[in-house]
Structure 1
Amino acid sequence: MIEILSSAALATVQDLGRTGSLRWGVGTSGAMDNLALAAGNLLLGNALGAAAIEVPVFPFKVLFDDDCAFALTGADCAARLDDQPLLPWWVHQARAGQVLTLGLPRGGAQRGSRAMLCVAGGIDVPEVLGSRSTQLRGAFGGHEGRALRKGDLLRAAGAGAACRTGFGLVPPSLALPLERDGVAAVRVLPAAEYMAFEPTSREAFWAGEWKITPHSDRYGYRLEGEALRPIAPMELRSHGIVPGVIQVPHSGQPIIQMRDAQPSGGYPKFGTVIEADMWRLGQAPIGSRIRFIETSWEEALDALDEVRAWLDKVARMVELHRGAPAATK
């Protein structure tokens, strides 16, 4: 078992998300950085979408009640196992009674904002609608449908099992960098109402920097920048939306729908962050600035292929490590 020792808010159990339920008005949820989750699971030999603990607020502490291999991915949080410093994006071994502490993310504006604690076998909580992800708004999935609290106990499905440790990988922020003029960037497809905005607003969207405001969370990122103005007032009926959609309310300040986004909304759709870059957005710290790069459908597919190729490379590397003979002392 893993005991939560921290009272830090908003840590949740997440997997790759709840697909196929939008028709019932159920959002996807899932890890804000799906690449960190998938890579952590590959490092441990888990199924790609095994559930893990997503940590957005620090410090965060857990106690391992059993021997358990684990991997830390996502933000570099100056982690320590008891008093021993740990490498990020690495596979480690905890012994029964040891305490893992995650400190504040480090590394400047590109440091990331969320850590993923992946454990051998994955976090064992019941599936709801085919996923173990926590849906906070609906209060289901994950651990009792809520954020984790001090004293919660979680079972690691592979605790006590043999698992090769002591290796890791180069994080995707370094392997797959994307910036515009030194600012973190994501690629965006123009959406249905894009051409209904003033030309100067369309130009400003691509040319300017956008601040992620404190009024941002797993539901949506509210941005601050030059207001986007429609050519004429628009009133739309509510319609289906998905994570990544950029909507523009009457204020002209965009909102990017994130993993816990509701499945419908009526604001005009200016663009959509491509699936391959959602992990970058999920790691963008509150208060940081981002840039948008206009892309095409073909380029979006190529970007997704690039991400899949990186994961395939990780899988091959892990296979080589697991096939290597154990080091002797």
Structure 2
Amino acid sequence: MRELKIIKPGLLTTVQDAGRKGFQQYGVPVSGVMDHYAFEMANLLVGNDAAEAVLEATLLGPEIVFEADGLLAVTGGDLGAVFNGEPLPLWQAVPVTSGDKLAFKGIRSGCRCYIAISGGLQVPVIMGSRSTYTRGNLGGHQGRALKAGDNLSVGDSPLPAAALTQPAEKRQITPAYQYAKEITLRVVPGPQEDAFSTQGLETFYQQPYTVTNECDRMGYRLEGTPIAHEAGADIISDGIAMGAVQVPGHGMPIVMMADRQTTGGYTKIANVISADLPLMAQAKPGDILRFTKVTVEEAQHIWAARQQEMAAVKKALALNPREETPPAHENTPSAHENTPYRKELFRFRRGGRPYALVVEELEE
């Protein structure tokens, strides 16, 4: 049986994937990974589907013994990974065989790392996801953070044997993010921006804020200059997106994250853009945050550019030949076969099942 054995669990190590989507109307949080970029890159490096389940470790990493052959990749924050006693390069896939050991010496940068192995972690799928929501004792491994002595099953590796002998340069990437102690986050205006005074808005965009010790997968409490409201901080509860910046009556912002509640009754001054959420996810107590405003259109362009970069990385890695085989319908003549067009393929999973979507963009 292909397994991982947890010798030491670290501070907080959980099984996570892209999240439990489609159930917020029932009060079920999305959960899933905090840093989607590092998560997807870890999976792509080892030849998995980008949404396969991985381990997310926070601040202090686990000690793991592998009883599965394949590829291993660690991405995200630098928690001092060592593999069989030697420093392990991040953002690179390395061959792993039964008996190999992964451990961590201590944090150097960032806050969270992602541990992926070819085949992915095979915990039960609950509501379409393998992610762990510890507050609800839901998903992952028995609905909780890992403990010493836990064993996790690993799926069959999707890789051909030749992938394990590829040169190192074919199994590594240069990450798009660097994790610093001072972070500038781009945000779009929140739905209650008009609830804040002019002075309050100037404070938010001009003053630095420090991440407090009250920061976890649910949200980050910040401290700094209080943000003034125009009238009050309470609203009729409405939905909360990941990266929403709530400001209660005391004026100190709270950035909501993966395990956030589905609705909330505090004014939201802004929302961190999707492309910068990985930076927010890697912030830790004592880090300094600054916020700068962009338009929704600018945020969309930034996100589209990031997606193109990730598509290029996926193509360059090309660890799994099956990923390069187009679905049958791509060879079917298009209704616009006499018209120049660009074709783009998107692969995704929903409810645990793989899908492929082909988008054809006509060129006028």
**Structure 1 length as normaliser, TM-score?**
0.90
Distance 1:136 1:183, change over 3 A: same
Distance 1:88 1:160, change over 3 A: same
In structure 1, what is the equivalent of residue 284 of structure 2? 285
Percentage of identical aligned residues: 35
Alpha-carbon offset, residue 85 of structure 1: 1.9
In structure 1, what is the equivalent of residue 176 of structure 2? 172
In structure 2, what is the equivalent of residue 56 of structure 1? 58
Q: What is the identity, as a one-letter code, of the residue corresponding to 2:175?
A: P
Residue correspondence of structure 1 range 313-324 to structure 2 within 5 A: 313-319=312-318
SS at match of 2:279: helix
Residue correspondence of structure 1 range 147-226 to structure 2 within 5 A: 147-158=145-156, 162=161, 163-164=163-164, 166=168, 167-174=171-178, 183-226=182-225
SS at match of 1:300: helix
Alpha-carbon offset, residue 123 of structure 1: 0.8
SS at match of 2:215: coil
Q: What is the identity, as a one-letter code, of the residue corresponding to 1:269?
A: K
Q: What is the identity, as a one-letter code, of the residue corresponding to 1:135?
A: Y
Q: What is the identity, as a one-letter code, of the residue corresponding to 2:241?
A: V
SS at match of 1:112: strand
Alpha-carbon offset, residue 22 of structure 1: 0.9
CA deviation profile, 1:292-312 (whole Å, cap 9, x unmatched) = 110101011011112201211
CA deviation profile, 1:216-258 (whole Å, cap 9, x unmatched) = 1000000111101112124322222121111111111011110
SS at match of 2:136: coil
In structure 2, what is the equivalent of residue 3 of structure 1? 5
1:88 and 1:55 map into 2 onto residues whose CA distance is: 14
* Structure with the higher fraction of residues in strand conformation: 2
Q: What is the identity, as a one-letter code, of the residue corresponding to 2:264?
A: G
Residue correspondence of structure 1 range 1-329 to structure 2 within 5 A: 1-106=3-108, 111-158=109-156, 162=161, 163-164=163-164, 166=168, 167-174=171-178, 183-319=182-318
Contact in 2 for aligned 1:68/1:158 (Cα 8 Å)? no
In structure 2, what is the equivalent of residue 327 of structure 1? none
Alpha-carbon offset, residue 59 of structure 1: 4.2
1:3 and 1:287 map into 2 onto residues whose CA distance is: 33
2:255 and 2:50 map into 1 onto residues whose CA distance is: 26
Alpha-carbon offset, residue 169 of structure 1: 0.6
Aligned alpha-carbon RMSD (Å): 1.9
Contact in 2 for aligned 1:11/1:148 (Cα 8 Å)? yes
CA deviation profile, 1:5-41 (whole Å, cap 9, x unmatched) = 1142321000111111111111110111100111111
Alpha-carbon offset, residue 81 of structure 1: 1.3
Alpha-carbon offset, residue 112 of structure 1: 1.1
Contact in 2 for aligned 1:119/1:158 (Cα 8 Å)? no
Alpha-carbon offset, residue 160 of structure 1: 9.9
Contact in 1 for aligned 2:4/2:152 (Cα 8 Å)? yes
Larger relative contact order, structure 1 or 2 (CA cutoff 8 Å, min sep 6): 1
Alpha-carbon offset, residue 67 of structure 1: 2.2
Distance 1:140 1:17, change over 3 A: same
Q: What is the identity, as a one-letter code, of the residue corresponding to 1:186?
A: L
Distance 1:234 1:101, change over 3 A: closer
Contact in 1 for aligned 2:15/2:131 (Cα 8 Å)? yes
Give the length in aligned residue pairs.
Answer: 313
Structure 1 moving runs of 4+ over 4 Å: none
2:121 and 2:277 map into 1 onto residues whose CA distance is: 23
CA deviation profile, 1:177-213 (whole Å, cap 9, x unmatched) = 9x9xx93211111112212212112111111111111
Distance 1:53 1:172, change over 3 A: same
Which stretch shows the higher mean deviation, 1-10 or 12-21?
A: 1-10
CA deviation profile, 1:106-126 (whole Å, cap 9, x unmatched) = 2xxxx2110100110111111
Contact in 2 for aligned 1:66/1:159 (Cα 8 Å)? no
Contact in 2 for aligned 1:9/1:148 (Cα 8 Å)? no
Gaps of 5+ in 1: 324-329
